[in-house]
Homo-oligomer: A and B are copies of this chain.
Amino acid sequence: MDCEIITIGELVSGHRVDTNSAYIARQLTRLGINVKYKSSVGDSMSAMEECFRLALRRAKIIITTGGLGPTDDDITKKAIVKVFKRNLIFNEDILEDLKERFAKRGLEMPAINQNQALLPQGATLFPNKHGSALGICISERGRIFISLPGVPFEMKQIMTDEVVPYLKELNQDQALKIVSLKTIGIIESKLAEMITDNFRLGQNVKLAYLPAPSGIELRISATAENEDEANEAVQKTIREIEARVGRYIFGREDDTLEAVVGQLLVDNDRTLAVAESCTGGQLGMQITVTPGSSKYFLGGIISYSNDVKIEQLKVDQNIIEKHGAVSEECAMAMAKGCRELFNSDYALSVTGIAGPDGGTEDKLVGLTYIGLSSIHDTFAKEFNFGSLREINRSRAIYAALEMLRRNILDIE
């Protein structure tokens, strides 16, 4: 069952990054629905009509996002009724709902929002818990055409609560198994060399290397006549891969490194604090992305200035004078000081030259030291994350979490 995803609106001009189509595609892939086409169209009526008609010819399921808002440039509904030769009908119940929603927030509904109660005749409506644009579904001549709002968290809620259960019902005769293994600390070409050396994939098995900020994700997929066969083919491949590169694999599917590390801390009844210089809070932020992280994460010090390192983290001023704030010695002192200040079992520290300025001939932009202090010992490692500020800050986060994971699991 082929699907096309169409993103509508300003995405074509690049003013916004499209996260929606990836989210939708991921949900569909898990249902065994093949996302064959993705396209993007601006707020032009003729281009949108053309795009919808092409999609209805080449795909069975079409999902659009965007253009359902109340303003003049939101014309998706108008294009839908033109293509399906239907009318927009004013829905009193929906209007009442909308007014109530605004009232709850203590606001009067702007008149312009009345547009959102105008809906295509005969469409199934999917409620939107977080916003005023409803999801719209039209099923006609073997085609399913679904329109969702463009605001990501609104789209996600409707997708999860309404669209996925709706499509699940329709798609029950495919046997596709997909498993993702997440690696960290090894480059793609090295990983490929280690995996493919004297090893051939089964005929019905595919292996993809997907670079992500934390590392390379290995996606193994197999198709077969029935679920057991597809599953067995995937499992056989996984066993082979684990035997070869298992030490770089930290998790599967939606596992994040921070959640995996968090679970290790919970399992071992340990607590963590952080001391951050160049990352400015990003390590703490990443750790606390995981709900329930308060079970193991106590807090941290953002020691952006040297004074804070000395006063709060009790880093010896001599260390900074002799070795600099970006040094193995300083990273160790920060981690140790942080663990003592917070009375935690572990402390991680990051100090580096994030750039673009601040580099010297001896210490290039991207030079970063990550420290780890535990009840057993305190040490630090040197990294060179390259010259891009955003990238090297993000690499530092993952390197720090991986240092802790390996330390807890006692992996080299």
| Residues of A participating in the B interface, judged by any CB pair closer than 8 Å | 10-19, 21-29, 35-40, 42-43, 47, 69-73, 110-113, 130, 150-151, 153, 180, 188-190, 192-193, 196, 207-212, 217, 219, 274, 276, 278-289, 291-294, 297-305, 307-308, 312, 341-342, 354-357, 386, 388-391
Contact, CB under 8 Å: A70 / B189: yes
Contact, CB under 8 Å: B130 / A388: yes
Give bound CA distance, A17 to B152, whole Å: 12
Cβ-defined partner of A276 (8 Å) among B113, B281, B303 = B281
Measured CB to CB, the closest approach of chain B to A167, in angstroms, equals 14
Contact, CB under 8 Å: A110 / B25: no
Residues of B within 8 A of A391 (CB): 153
Give bound CA distance, A257 to B304, whole Å: 20
Contact, CB under 8 Å: B298 / A294: no
Contact, CB under 8 Å: B112 / A192: yes
Give bound CA distance, A28 to B279, whole Å: 32
Query: How many monomers of this protein are in the complex?
Result: 2
Sample of 18 more A-B contacts, CB < 8 Å, known A110-B190, A112-B189: A12-B25, A12-B36, A13-B26, A14-B35, A15-B180, A17-B18, A18-B18, A38-B39, A73-B207, A153-B388, A274-B281, A280-B287, A281-B286, A293-B304, A294-B304, A297-B305, A299-B305, A301-B302
Residues of B within 8 A of A189 (CB): 69-71, 110, 112-113
Residues of B within 8 A of A190 (CB): 110
Give bound CA distance, A294 to B289, whole Å: 25
Cβ-defined partner of A299 (8 Å) among B42, B180, B284, B301 = B301
Contact, CB under 8 Å: B300 / A281: yes
Give bound CA distance, A130 to B221, whole Å: 31
Residues of B within 8 A of A298 (CB): 304-305, 307-308
Contact, CB under 8 Å: A280 / B291: no
- Which among A113, A180, A299 has the greatest number of chain B C-beta atoms within 10 A? A299
Contact, CB under 8 Å: B26 / A15: yes
Residues of B within 8 A of A29 (CB): 13-14
Give bound CA distance, A17 to B18, whole Å: 7
Query: What would 27 A/B residue contacts be, using CB atoms closer than 8 Å?
Result: A12-B25, A12-B36, A13-B26, A14-B25, A14-B26, A14-B29, A15-B217, A17-B17, A17-B23, A18-B21, A37-B39, A39-B39, A43-B208, A71-B209, A112-B193, A153-B390, A279-B285, A279-B288, A280-B281, A281-B284, A288-B304, A289-B389, A291-B356, A294-B305, A299-B305, A300-B302, A301-B301
Contact, CB under 8 Å: B284 / A297: no
- In the complex formed, the residue of B with least CB distance to A26 is B14
Contact, CB under 8 Å: B43 / A14: no
Measured CB to CB, the closest approach of chain B to A287, in angstroms, equals 7
- Which among A112, A153, A288, A341 has the greatest number of chain B C-beta atoms within 10 A? A288
Contact, CB under 8 Å: B291 / A284: no
Residues of B within 8 A of A13 (CB): 25-26, 29, 35
Measured CB to CB, the closest approach of chain B to A109, in angstroms, equals 8
Contact, CB under 8 Å: A188 / B70: yes
Measured CB to CB, the closest approach of chain B to A40, in angstroms, equals 4
